[in-house]
Structures are given as structure tokens and as C-alpha cells.
Structure 1
Amino acid sequence: MFSTTCFAQQKVVATLENPPAVVTPKGYSQVAVIDMGNSYMLLLSGQVALDKSGQLVGKGDVAAQIEQTFANIKAIVESKGGTMANVVKLNYYLIDVANIQTVRAIRDKYIDVNHPPASTLVQVSKLFRDDVLVEIEATAVIPK
């Protein structure tokens, strides 16, 4: 059984943030920042093609949505002092896996293709909105 004193004595292991470069969501944070001593680990919430004002970019256009999604990932990582070279893991959720070549082509503009991050791709039947075609999660490790 947990007590309030147990929670009061817990150390905070992550800060939950919403960088101003991306839309502030309702009910969750865009990034968890974990201080690992000599570096920070960033756990990004799944990013979609919403611009800073919350408007969908590229309705019906998977390439435009992937481009905006990577721009959002880059903006979050850079807001914490990192670069896309610090991204160590990408998780892709696509409505149609046939778009994998489009994902790869756009991804390759953002990552070091000689040292690509680990990744997972899953085809899903639906995302949180019918007009959203892709969602991408990212993990980054940024040296102090």
C-alpha cells in the first residue's frame, strides 16, 4: 500500500514538458526529460502532422504528414539542446505500410543515414483521428 509520505519522499526522475515549438496537447506532455547524469534522455510522445497552432498539415498527403512529423520531432529535440543525430530510436505507426519508401526517403533527410537509429514500424488500422496517416515516437539521448 502506498502512502502520501512515500510519494512525498520520491525523487523526481523525469520532467514532463511541452516545448513552445510544437502544439501543446490536452491531457499529456510532448516530452519526458530524464536526467541520466552525463546526459539527458528524451522520450517523445507520438508526433503527428499538427503544426504549432494544432492544424493538420497535409490532409490526405502522407508525404506532407511525414515531413511535418519529422519537423516536430526535430523541433522538440533541438528545444532541449540536441540534434537529430541524438535520436537513438524511432517507432512508426502507419495506416498503410505501403508508404514505407516515403517514410524512408523523408527520414533520410533528418537522420545520419550512415548511423541510423534503431526503429520499429507497425501498420495500424486507425490512429486517433481519421485524417492522421502516420504517428512517430522518438527517443533521444543528449550529452550534457
Structure 2
Amino acid sequence: MSTPHTAPHITRVPAPDGMAASPAYSHVVWGTGRFVAVSGQCAFDEQGAVVGAGDALAQARQVFANLRRCLAAAGADFSDVVKLTYYVTDVAHLAAARTARAEALPPEALPASSAVQVTALVHPDLLLEIEAFAIVGDAKA
């Protein structure tokens, strides 16, 4: 897999004036092009089985692999992502999600992000779910 890069049709503002920058996300992201919404992805394999029961990092890696596949189906990649929303059953799982995200996105391509702790997901073995919004530039459209 090639390393994603900052897409020329997307502007990321890590820290607006008067705000502290975060190493984990950009405060503001905007772009021009075709909007793509990717439903929340969980750690399911091609057969619908849970990958990595009890292992947040294995699940996060599977989720990012699934997000990559969904983005590709829309002609997008991680450089086009402008927003990620993390749903975790325990805030401690965010560290694993950040590790998997760092493997998929370079620090200069961080999208806006939100994280929410939930009591449960669609399957009892799931620890996290991530949805993505992307904007595909004219060159990819």
C-alpha cells in the first residue's frame, strides 16, 4: 500500500488562531469535490465473522482495512477523508484506533475527528466502529 498524502482539493487546519493543535486530528477540514459518506465499519471479515475478538488493535486494523475498501469503491482513499467518527465501548480502545489510523494516514493528512463511548455495538464481541466522510477531487471523480 502506498502512503497516503494530503489531497490538493482538501485544506486541513490543525489549529485555528487561539486554539491548541492536537497530534490526533485537525480542528477544521474542508474541500471541494464529490462528497462520500462511509457507514460505520466494524471488525468483520469477508464472511461476516468478527476479527480479533477481545483485541482492540486487531479490530482497529480490520476496521481501517474495511474503510480502505469502502473508500476505494467510491474512487477515494485515506487522503480524501475529511472526518472520522470513532465509537468505542471503552475509551481505552482509542489508543488502538489511533495506532491503526497512524498506519493508514500520515500525520499531515489528519481529518477532523470525534470519539464517542457507547455501551454496546451491533455484536457483543465488537470493541469499536469507525465511520468516515471524504471528498473526492475532480481528478478522481
TM-score when scaled to structure 2? 0.72
Percent identical residues: 39
Give every structure 1 segment of 4 or more consecutive aligned residues whose post-TM-superposition deviation is greater than 2 Å: none
Larger Rg: 1
Q: For the residues of structure 2 that align with 1:65 and 1:141, how far apart are their CA atoms?
A: 25
Aligned length: 107
Deviation at 1:103, TM superposition (A): 1.4
1:64 to 58, 64, 87: 58
- Ranges in structure 2 where 5+ consecutive residues have no aligned partner: 1-31
The letter of the residue matching 2:105 is: I
1:46 to 40, 48, 67: 40
Partner of 2:119: 125
Deviation at 1:99, TM superposition (A): 2.1
Write out per-residue CA displacement over residues 72-105 of structure 1, whole angstroms, 9 at most, x where no aligned residue: 0011111222111001100000011012222111
Partner of 2:77: 83
Deviation at 1:62, TM superposition (A): 0.9
Equivalent positions of 1:1-144 (< 5 A) are 39-143=33-137, 144=141
Q: Which has the higher contact order (CA 8 A, sep 6+)?
A: 2
- Ranges in structure 1 where 5+ consecutive residues have no aligned partner: 1-37
Task: Please report the RMSD computed on the Cα atoms of aligned residues, expressed in angstroms.
Answer: 1.2
